[in-house]
Amino acid sequence: MLNKKALYLLSVVSLAFIIYVVYHNFVYDPQAAGFLGHKSNLKRPLQIPVWLNVMYIHVIFACLAMGSGIVNFSRSIFERSRKFHKINGYLYFVSVFIVSLTSGYMAPYATGGKLTSIPFNLLNIIWPGMTVIALYHIKKRDMIRHRNWMFRSYAFCFTNLFIHLISLLCHHAFGLAYKISYILGVYGSITLLLILPSVVLARKKRLFI
């Protein structure tokens, strides 16, 4: 389990991002006009009502994955109720798969075309795969490997955050076109989220309790 300082920091970031995502997608721009405005030269027609409904499901379960994941890193909650930890873990598991399935639908319409749809589809395999590995290890009662793979899996809850941070930096700070910035954001995000957890786990004595 995460130490109190790491858990608090990650909880604050997660909660802030969940609030932002819910506000942006359901209050500020429920029709995703700003995001859809960047899509052009699509290979297939975009059925906006269907796409929006899939996006809403995607957003809801992405928030559930982020919220349930961080809760299960709490040692006090784990010690208070292992049954809750288990049920909440399955909620995370289901949420990850629904996020990946909905992402699979939206990937062909991603800004940047195949250059972004391919890494998105790879991510839709890698993320659930990591989550299945984490589940496998807890079934084998290997808590250490379960925790480490859950940490790797949970990192991908921040994919969207990293994509937008990198793309905003490239677009506004370096003046790159939005499409190029978004493509760099996708590749940069996936690369970082594959590497960073392993770097952090190398210092696990300071991170976990």
**Is it the case that residue 203 has pLDDT exceeding 90?**
no
Residue type, 102: T
pLDDT, one tens digit per residue, over 112-167 is 999 999 999 999 999 999 999 999 999 999 999 999 999 999 999 999 999 999 99
pTM higher than the cut 0.85: yes
Q: Average pLDDT of the chain?
A: 93
Average of per-residue pLDDT across 27-40: 87
Average of per-residue pLDDT across 43-66: 94
Q: Report d(CA 206, CA 67) in Å as an integer.
A: 23
What is residue 155's predicted lDDT score, i.e. its pLDDT? 98
Q: Report d(CA 168, CA 5) in Å as an integer.
A: 29
What is residue 80's predicted lDDT score, i.e. its pLDDT? 92
Tell me which H or E stretch contains 204: helix 204-207
pLDDT, one tens digit per residue, over 92-115 is 999 999 999 999 999 999 999 999
Q: Report d(CA 144, CA 140) in Å as an integer.
A: 11
Q: Report d(CA 74, CA 72) in Å as an integer.
A: 5
Taking the CA atoms of 25, 23, 93 and 134 in sequence, report the sign of the dihedral they define.
positive
How close are the terminal C-alpha atoms of the chain, in Å? Answer: 6
* Residues making up the chain, counted from first to last: 209
- What residues does each domain of the chain span? 4-157
- Give the Cα-Cα-Cα angle 54, 59, 65 (nearest 5 degrees): 125
